[in-house]
Amino acid sequence: MRIMDLLTRDPREEPVSDFEPGVEPTGAARVRVLLAAALGPLVTGYAVVATVLTLVTLTAERTVFSGFGVLLAAGPGWLAAHQVRLGIGGHPLGLLPLLPTLGAVALAARTASGAAQRLGCRSPREALPVFAAITGAHAVFGLVIALCAQGSPVTANPLLACAVPGLLAAVASAVGIVWSCGLPDVVAERLDPLALRGLRAGVLGLALLLACGAAVFTVATAVSWSTVADMYEPGFGSSFGLFLLSLMYLPNAVTASLSFVTGPGFSIGPLNVGMFGYHGGTVPGVPILGGLPEHSSAWWPALLVLPAATGVLVGWSLRKVDADPAQRIRTVAVAGAVVALGCVVLGTLSGGRLGDGPFDPVSVPVGVASVVGFCWIVIPGAFTAFFAGEHEPPAPPEALEDNEAFEDAEDVDADEAAEALEELEESEEDEDALDDEDAEFEAEADAELGLDDPSLSRESDGSEDAALSRESAAEPDEAVTGGTETCGDVEPGEADR
């Protein structure tokens, strides 16, 4: 969950600073914080290694405790905790415990995060001095230890002693700074939300696979507890040393068990333990290896249901990330890539050279394990995400609103059209009634005036104008006389005028 919070943290969120708001730390204060960030993980890690060696020396039988010798031996122990391959009496030791490495990475990340908060860094760019201080201090300290160990029984390559701790510190401090300040703006703006969901699901899938490996390892150890108990020696000191050794290599054993559960398996010298293949061989007498089988079993393939169930759970968690099935499958593929990368890193760190004896080397087939892990996530996860999610992408909200508005408009227009049609029909009926009333009124008027006589109708058919012209031609004098009388006593000259 903290990794998910780290990836989704807002880069603009105000960090908690030891200084007052609005007050920039002075140069001396910044130097003190950077020195504490650079030296803190080194001193703490070295002290833890020296403490463990002191406990082993004090509890072991027939040993003489020497404080100076413990401090000298703590240097190569610090390098081993940072995955630097050592040489013991000319024999290579590359199989290094993962538990101290996880502790060293967590310590560096926490230190970087605390230093960035104390300085009030608001972005990863402002925390670059913290990153440089922690990375540079680890690289220089590893180089110094390797140079000082030259000529002693335990040696290390100076170049590797400088590069490997510096690389681990760089990764850890970068995680701590991003945890405190958020992702850089350039990365946050270009980060695909579906890819982020796939990244989260991939972390979940890797954690579930590790849990499956841990469960199988625990059951195998519990079933073979009598063999495990016989590996402890009667003395307390020796038994305590074997217990510490098994505890530090516990993550290595869980990773090997994960590879066995997914199918590829692992090897210790000539011993090869795989889901579909087994080749026997001798193993070191260490309690953590007491649960290794002596022969293959026919029921081992039934354990493949565990990685298959993990892929189904990853697909189920991504069934609602997008309505488009293709996008869901793409997100599952991102989760599978994360699991494959995790298998590569864990498999590489869990194996290595173990001297030149019969148990060399201890290895996990990294390439095959990564491909198989990818397939266990993608194949069942893609089927689950495809069939458990939606199959037709829903319409965008704007389209839905437009469609609803269009439907409402259609409803309104239909109602209005129906009302208009009814009004039109009523108006047509009223007009027909008025036309009938007008026709009846005209017929009654014609009957009263006698206009309905057929003879009048025939005379009026084109002869009315001729009758009027004959009447006017037959009575010209009357018209003139009438006109004179109308004029009254008007003299001829005035009449002419």
Q: Specify the amino acid at residue 127.
A: A
State the Cα–Cα distance between residues 339 and 345, nearest whole angstrom.
10
**Sequential pLDDT tens for the chain (497 residues):** 344 444 444 444 444 455 554 456 778 889 999 999 999 999 999 999 999 999 988 887 777 778 888 889 999 999 999 999 999 988 999 999 999 999 999 999 999 999 999 998 888 999 999 999 999 999 999 999 999 999 889 999 999 999 999 999 999 999 999 988 888 877 777 888 899 999 999 999 999 999 999 999 999 999 999 989 888 877 777 788 899 999 999 999 999 999 999 999 999 999 999 998 899 888 888 999 999 998 899 999 999 999 999 999 999 999 999 989 999 999 999 999 999 999 999 999 999 998 888 888 999 999 999 999 999 999 999 999 999 888 765 555 554 455 554 444 444 455 565 666 666 666 666 556 555 655 665 666 556 555 555 544 444 444 444 444 444 444 444 443 444 444 344 444 443 43
pTM score of the predicted model: 0.74
Residue with tokens 């692992």: 266
Helix (H) or strand (E) holding 153: none
- How far is CA 99 from each of CA 122, 246, 286, 371, rounded to the nearest angstrom? 32, 10, 17, 26
Question: Which parts of 263-365 fold into alpha helices (H)?
Answer: 305-317, 325-350
State the Cα–Cα distance between residues 392 and 401, nearest whole angstrom.
19
Tokens of 476: 């010209």
Question: Which parts of 60-127 fold into alpha helices (H)?
Answer: 67-81, 99-118
Q: Which residues contact 462 (CB under 8 A, 6 or more apart)?
A: none
Paired with 271 in beta bridges are 268
